[in-house]
Amino acid sequence: MRAGARGIQSIEVSGRILRALVATSKPMMLKELAQAAELAPAQCHAYLTSLRSVGLVHQDATSGLYRTGPFALRLGIGWLNGTPLAVAAIRELRLLAEDLGIMSLLSVWGVSGPTIVQICAGSTRAALNLRPGTLFSVTGTATGRVFAAFSENEAVGAMAAQEFSQAGRRGGIGGLLTREDSETQLEATRSCGYAIAEAVPIPDTNAVAAPIFDNTGTLQFVATLIGPIEDLAVDPGAVAVRRLLAVTEGLSAGRGAPLSSGAAQKEA
């Protein structure tokens, strides 16, 4: 909100409650939710009643715990569908997953870190417990390392530092690295323009991730391919790596349809 603009306080308070639910990423008791939103329990309950009525919050009938509601998901989908760069990225990653037969993911930086917003399973044989909303660690995954290498968001560095200070107790998917190893991998990611993971943190599974920038050069999304090691080679000359970079570089440059849908198939 611009300085001096007049807002509606009740909406801002509701936003604090919703941010608390998203940041925690788990069902919450009224007392802990009120504390996280810096509200008195009675006041928080009144707001929750209204948020429930519009579907932004759901309360479990048995446990009484609160979590984000179905309309919150629809808002997220609406944002994706209304963002041209996201629409183009989803289309191209779906084509790529279908062509290569491996899983593709599109991730954004969320309140709790790198967050999957779209998945295309392709024909992958890997049994991966991934879905929209799944979180990746910053330091222990290829997707997270791309955010760490190319994002100017100060929250990325802060979360990386938190992961090192809480090693072994971090949230989301991710392997454990020393700070020195992490810095080495970040340098490699910045040098080549993408990040890889080989059988870590998911056994027998490789991943390659690359950045998607908007027309101002700001990192907006990370595109990732994941598949069994025998199906997804991640060396610099591998077909999947070249195809993914063709897509992400094309999207970042705003050149229209990247190579994945035509020329890249001939190149591969």
pLDDT per position as a tens digit, 80-97: 888 899 999 999 999 999
**Domain residue spans of the chain:** 9-69, 83-267
Question: What Å distances lie between residue 173 and 50, 165, 266, CA to CA?
Answer: 34, 17, 35
- % of the chain exceeding 90 in pLDDT: 57
Residue 190 CA to residue 184 CA, distance in Å, equals 10
CB of 158 closer than 8 Å to CB of 149: no
The predicted pLDDT at position 167 comes to: 56
The predicted pLDDT at position 171 comes to: 55
Q: Which two tokens stand for residue 23?
A: 């940041």
Q: 73 or 235: which carries more pLDDT confidence?
A: 235
Annotation: CATH topology of 9-69: Arc Repressor Mutant, subunit A (1.10.10)
How far separated are the first and last CA of the chain, in Å rounded? 48
Q: Quick one: DSSP state of residue 264?
A: H
φ, ψ at 239 (rounded to 5°): -60, -45
- % of the chain exceeding 70 in pLDDT: 87
SS3 category, 196: strand
Q: Which two tokens stand for residue 121?
A: 């399973």
CB of 86 closer than 8 Å to CB of 127: no
Q: Among 59-73, 75-89, 171-185, 220-234, which is the least confidently predicted range?
A: 171-185
φ, ψ at 121 (rounded to 5°): -75, -20
**For the segment 168-181, what is each residue's pLDDT rounded down to a tens digit?**
445 567 766 677 88
Q: What DSSP element (H or E) covers 109?
A: strand 103-110
Q: What is the CATH number of domain 83-267?
A: 3.30.450.40
pLDDT above 50 for 268? no
Model pTM score: 0.77
Q: What is the chain's mean pLDDT, rounded?
A: 85
Number of DSSP helices (H) and strands (E) in the chain, helices first: 10, 7
Nearest CA-CA partner of 118 in 82, 153, 81:
81
